Amino acid sequence: MQVKIPSHPTLLFLLCFSPSLAGAESMQMEEITVKGIKESPQAESLTIREVHESPARDIGEALKQVEGIDIVRKGAYANDVVLRGQQKDNINVFLDGVRIHGACPSRMDPPSSHFDFAEVEQIRIIKGPYDLTNPGGIGGVIDAESKKTGQGFGGGINMTYGSYNSANASATASYGAKLYDVLLGYAFKYSGVPESGDGRRITEIYPATSMNRYKSDAVNSKAYEIDTGWAKFGLNPTDNSRMEVAYSYQDSEHVLYPYLMMDADYDRTHNLNWTYRIEKVSPVVKEIKLQAYWDKVRHLMDDRERVSSLNRPRLYSMQTDATTQVIGAKMNGTFAVGPGTLTSGLDYYNRNWDATNRTAANSYLNVAMLPDVYTDNLGAFIGYEMPLLEKLTVKGGLRGDLTWVKADKTTNKAINDTNFNSIAGNIQLIWSPLEHLEITAGFGSGVRPPDPQELFINSSRQQGNPFLKSTRNNEADLGIKYATDSYFIKMAIFNSSLRNYINLVPSGTTRSFENINANIWGAELSSQVALPYNVFLKGSLSYTEGRNSTNDRPLSEIPPLKGMLALRYDVDTWFVEVAENFANSQDRVDSALNEQPTSGWLTTDLKAGYHYKSLSVYAGIYNLLDKYYYSHLSYLRDPFASGVKVPENGRNFYVTVAYKF
């Protein structure tokens, strides 16, 4: 995809993988500049070039190479993102600022699974409660930015084929004139069932006696099949204004989740986004941005692929039919006020979530698992950034939110509605005492209300608690960065004091949620160095430790120490890279939930790439030594524990051919 030359340095870097614009040598140097000089230690970005070089099947898998990010492995697809040990509604995941929620109460379809990375240009990550422009996101925000449309005709084709008969094909075409532009895209993804290092498929992990094991004809079926189509129309009525309308539709079929006791028949997702932006309105009004969006997901899951469905009056013994919909609007402004820049905005969203459960044990009666819950959120923020001294910048702000949650169907709870209000805020100092050295210090206090599931879910295995309070994260961050043109080293350390953290707890024969006090601290280290003879060295380390201070034991589902060390030879037209990835064992587990320790592991990845004019070819072998290993976040806790862990892929290869015009 050819893109017009943007002024933003990060976007400029993104273009550099196009050989017509810059050589690969400068590409690596640019990457050092962007990740070192431009980005603060609290912010990260992942570019689509890094995604294309890897065999990642979804956004989650692509993001796990970023320091501080891990994934929950549920199957071959739809891996859920975990940021510094925070998951689910503790982090915000957006596409172009659009709030997308999954429909599945077991998170088969996390927000990041509802768009294709062929739609995306880059993904920005803010760690900690420092995003004032959206409600929640107490652990951070992951915001994917869709591709921009360039001038004239443009387009691209990307085709990946790999182990397990997996295919990933996408095509985009666009036309841009001064007044308007149009972009169309389509992506197709398919895979057979992956094998782990012991040579078994991930559908073969259940004991022969388990009712949750896959039926013999399902063991070697497809792991997923996903079609995504999207269109974007842009209009530039004046030199300083732009309007965009974007729509995407995604159809996921037959997605297997060995982690769970059911699989998805389908997810069908609509996403409609409208934005209007006007810049340089007056010397004071620098920018006004308006946004309105709608998205809707329908998700159907059941156990028809499992032995538990055999000899039943219906195709399945259990089924959940779930839908969720979000309607939202935002109005943001940037103003020149005094010596600095003021940002302010108002936003609203309404989310509906409804899920119906049917089981053979209950004569297939419809049970309102999520009783048609509506969440309304109205928020406003004000932020200010100014230079305090020549080499010291201060920025900060406040945000207030009002939240109403109401179940429209009859529930089994003492109350059917509840509401929350909160004030959040943060302050950050950015100081450059010496050339190349930057120190950032921040304190943020973020709040998120309980989600509809935590409040109102009704199932035999899990019961919501409508008396939950909002979680508040009081987080302190310190970042140190030393960055030159040829190398950088970044370190970030944080401490989160979580009041009313929402924790899963045993409750009689079922599980419920309760507010506890918790603490999460951690650190990330990353470095990239340009050595002589076109050799580049990259390394990273991430660590997170969580503690349930109310009950004096570790928090569950906290990833262990992990890291990566890579050596790359990169000249103008080709590169080759070898990477070692490792994770320590995790024995800090929540005994109350019978969480089990996980062993450490070390794997080796090899990849190479070749660029000729508009053509790029990438190939790689991941997990070269065919190691059999698990990520710590690959085992579901009670109440839906299936009793098995999902192993990571064994040795696997891939070839990607990309062509742009």
Q: Which amino acid is at 398?
A: L
Q: How many CB atoms lie within 10 A of CB 311?
A: 8
143 close to 137: Cβ distance less than 8 angstroms = no
Nearer to Cu ion by Cβ, of 372 and 475: the residue is 372
Site string for Cu ion, 188-217 (x = CB under 5 A): ------------------------------
> How many angstroms separate the CA atoms of 5 and 514, rounded?
51
The CB-of-559 to Cu ion minimum distance in angstroms stands at: 23
Q: Quick check: 108 binds Cu ion (CB under 5 A)?
A: yes
Given the complex with Cu ion, which of 104 and 424 has the nearer CB atom? 104
Interface map 415-434 toward Cu ion (x if CB under 5 A) = --------------------
Q: Which stretch binds Cu ion (CB under 5 A): 6-14, 182-190, 247-255, 295-303?
A: 295-303
Shortest distance (Å) from residue 60 CB to Cu ion: 16
Part of the chain binding Cu ion (CB under 5 A), chosen from 102-110, 418-426, 441-449, 509-517: 102-110
Q: By rule CB under 5 A, what string of x and - marks binding of each residue 251-290 to Cu ion? A: ----------------------------------------
Question: Shortest distance, CB of residue 103 to Cu ion, whole angstroms?
Answer: 8
Sites for Cu ion among residues 301-340 (CB under 5 A): 301
C-beta of residue 45 within 8 angstroms of C-beta of residue 67: no
- CA distances, 317 to each of 106, 257, 307 (Å): 17, 17, 10
**CB of 287: closest distance to Cu ion in angstroms?**
40
If one counts every other C-beta atom within 10 angstroms of the C-beta of residue 533, the result is: 6
Q: Which is nearer to Cu ion, 366 or 419 (CB)?
A: 366
Between 170 and 320, CB nearer to Cu ion? 320
Least separation in angstroms between residue 123's CB and Cu ion is 25
Pairing of β 462-463 and β 263-279: unpaired
HEC-encoded secondary structure of 288-307:
EEEEEEEEEEEEEEECCCEH
- Choose one: 57-65, 96-104, 342-350, 578-586; the region binding Cu ion (CB under 5 A): 96-104
Q: Using CA atoms, how far apart are residues 428 and 434, in angstroms rounded to an integer? A: 19
Burial class (CB in 10 A: 0-12, 13-18, 19+), 429: middle
DSSP state of 34: I
Stretch that binds Cu ion, among 107-115, 212-220, 238-246, 651-659 (CB under 5 A): 107-115
Nearer to Cu ion by Cβ, of 77 and 230: the residue is: 77
Looking at beta carbons only, is 108 or 504 nearer to Cu ion? 108
Q: Which is nearer to Cu ion, 108 or 518 (CB)?
A: 108
* 76 in contact with Cu ion (CB under 5 A): no
Contact 62, 51 (CB under 8 A): yes
Q: How far is the CB of 358 from Cu ion (least distance, A)?
A: 13
The continuous run of DSSP H or E covering 239 comes out as: none
Q: Are 263 and 301 in contact (CB under 8 A)?
A: yes
Among 51, 56, 66, 104, binds Cu ion (CB under 5 A): 104
| 174 φ, ψ (degrees, to nearest 5) | -150, 160
- Cα gap 206→214, rounded to integer Å: 8
- Alpha carbon distance 147, 231 (integer Å): 11
Shortest distance in whole angstroms from residue 316 CB to Cu ion: 13
Q: Are 344 and 383 in contact (CB under 8 A)?
A: yes
Identify the bridge partners of residue 479 per DSSP, sorted by sequence position.
440, 492
Residue 71 or 301: the one with the smaller Cβ distance to Cu ion is 301
Q: Give the span between the Cα atoms of 618 and 540, in whole angstroms.
A: 23
The span of 183-191, 204-212, 297-305, 480-488 binding Cu ion (CB under 5 A) equals 297-305
Q: Which residue has the tokens 């989600």?
A: 451
Residue closer to Cu ion (CB basis): 125 or 301: 301
Q: Supply the minimum distance, in Å, between the C-beta of residue 335 and Cu ion.
A: 45
The CA–CA distances, whole Å, from 110 to 36, 93, 141, 404, 552 equal: 30, 9, 14, 23, 30
Query: Shortest Cβ contact with Cu ion: which residue?
Result: 104
**Least CB distance from residue 467 to Cu ion, whole Å?**
27
Q: Of the listed pieces 35-43, 101-109, 176-184, 363-371, which binds Cu ion according to CB under 5 A?
A: 101-109
Residue 609 DSSP SS3: strand
Q: Which stretch binds Cu ion (CB under 5 A): 32-40, 56-64, 104-112, 357-365?
A: 104-112
Question: Which residue, 366 or 599, is less far from Cu ion as judged by CB?
Answer: 366
| Cα–Cα distance for residue pair 287/559, rounded to 1 Å | 40
Only one of the segments 4-12, 72-80, 106-114, 510-518 lies at the binding site for Cu ion (rule: CB under 5 A); that segment is 106-114
Distance spanning both ends of the chain, measured CA to CA: 7
The side-by-side arrangement of strands in the sheet containing 43-47 is 43-47, 120-127, 140-146, 91-95, 98-99
- If one asks whether residue 579 binds Cu ion (CB under 5 A), the answer comes out as no
Three-state DSSP at 571 gives coil
**Which region among 50-58, 162-170, 294-302, 503-511 touches Cu ion (by CB under 5 A)?**
294-302
Q: How far is the CB of 456 from Cu ion (least distance, A)?
A: 17
Phi-psi group of 84: left, alpha or beta (phi > 0 → left; psi -120 to 50 → alpha; rest → beta): left
CB-nearer residue toward Cu ion: 104 or 407? 104
Query: Residue 108 Cβ, how far from Cu ion at the closest point, in Å?
Result: 4
Of the pair 144, 301, the CB lying nearest Cu ion is at 301
Q: Which amino acid is at 35?
A: K
Helix (H, G, I), strand (E, B) or coil at 187: strand
Rounded to the nearest whole angstrom, what is the least distance from the CB of residue 301 to Cu ion in the complex? 4
Stretch that binds Cu ion, among 221-229, 298-306, 548-556, 581-589 (CB under 5 A): 298-306
DSSP state of 598: B
* Total binding residues toward Cu ion, as defined by CB under 5 A: 4
Q: Which residue has the tokens 């951070």?
A: 140
> CB of 263: closest distance to Cu ion in angstroms?
8
Binding site for Cu ion (CB under 5 A): 104, 106, 108, 301
